[in-house]
Amino acid sequence: MGLSVRLMKKVRGFTLDVAWEIGNELAVLFGCSGAGKSMTLQLIAGLAVPDKGRVHVGDRTLFDSSAGINIPPRKRSMGYVFQDLALFPHMTVKENIAYGLDRPERTRGEAGVVQMIDAFHLNKLEDKLPSEISGGQKQRAALARALIRRPDALLLDEPFSALDTHLRAEMRSLLKDTREKFNVPVILVTHDVFEARSMADTIIVYSNGRIAQTGTPSGVFDCPANSEVEGLVDAGGLFLPSQKPAF
């Protein structure tokens, strides 16, 4: 299972024009805010429509402008975790997780919900509302909801940005374990240098709607393609001297 995209989209003076493909791995879309990373996830998921291009996952074509194919979002089998997590405040943890199922499956999907509650260590929290659980627990509930349908790919739009340092480290470890357990391609959007280097199998560097460089973390960080990428991957200005990670 892998993912291949060719996307072009113009929005209010901004043009996204990217093409990349990944295998069954964790790929990081890395770059400054406004570079087109989140827009890419929206186009892959079908929440927005490219002006032209294609989206393939495995042997399925989800979008192809030349062939007139545009599979609706609900039928694309994509797990999506938004930056604000988008948990429904009036639903319990159990109900939020069940919402990830197709409507006909929700009433008969109790066993699957229980499995996800166990897998993401949400036992004894299933009847609580999002306002009654911690930030890390909300993250786990959002991941459980995104993965309950066993999607073809998991799309994560800066899901850890609101967490403190300790919780971010915990969630990074959880995501690595989740990727191995569910054996699904993961596309993680971030502009956090440490997150990109420590999490990725492949890094795709975005710059103003284009791909500036693609490669392994060591390839991108040790051999940036140009001065712009070098500036993006230089962590020196993002950490205090006592906090700067030893890469």
Residue 164 shares a structural domain with residue 122: no
Predicted pLDDT of residue 109: 63
Domain boundaries, position 138:
86-150
Residue 56 shares a structural domain with residue 128: no
Residue 186's CATH number: 3.40.50.300
Q: Which of 53, 51, 69 is nearest to 14 (CA)?
A: 51
Residue 94 shares a structural domain with residue 110: yes
Residue 201 shares a structural domain with residue 238: yes
Give 101's DSSP letter.
S
Residues near 84 by beta carbon (within 8 Å), at least 6 away in sequence: 162
Q: Which of 228, 163, 240, 233 is nearest to 198 (CA)?
A: 233
Tell me how many domains the chain contains: 2
Residue 37 shares a structural domain with residue 48: yes
Distance CA 153, CA 77 (A): 7
Taking the CA atoms of residue 24, residue 115, residue 189 and residue 191 in that order, the dihedral angle to the nearest 10 degrees is -120
Please, are residues 189 and 156 in contact by the beta-carbon 8 Å criterion?
yes
Residue 65 shares a structural domain with residue 100: no
Residue 187 shares a structural domain with residue 145: no
Long-range contacts of 112-119 (CB under 8 A, 24+ apart): 112/148, 113/148, 116/144, 116/145, 116/147, 116/148, 117/93, 117/144, 119/144, 119/181
Residue 71 shares a structural domain with residue 168: yes
Q: Which of 35, 26, 19, 20 is nearest to 232 (CA)?
A: 35
Domain boundary at 120, 135, 150, which? 150
Predicted pLDDT of residue 242: 34
Residue 169 shares a structural domain with residue 70: yes
The whole-model pTM stands at: 0.88
Sequential pLDDT tens for the chain (247 residues): 799 999 999 999 999 999 999 999 999 999 888 999 999 999 999 999 999 999 999 999 999 999 999 999 989 999 999 888 789 999 999 999 998 887 656 555 678 899 999 999 999 999 999 999 998 899 899 999 999 989 999 999 988 877 777 888 888 888 888 888 899 999 999 888 888 888 999 999 999 999 999 999 999 999 999 988 998 888 543 333 333 333 3
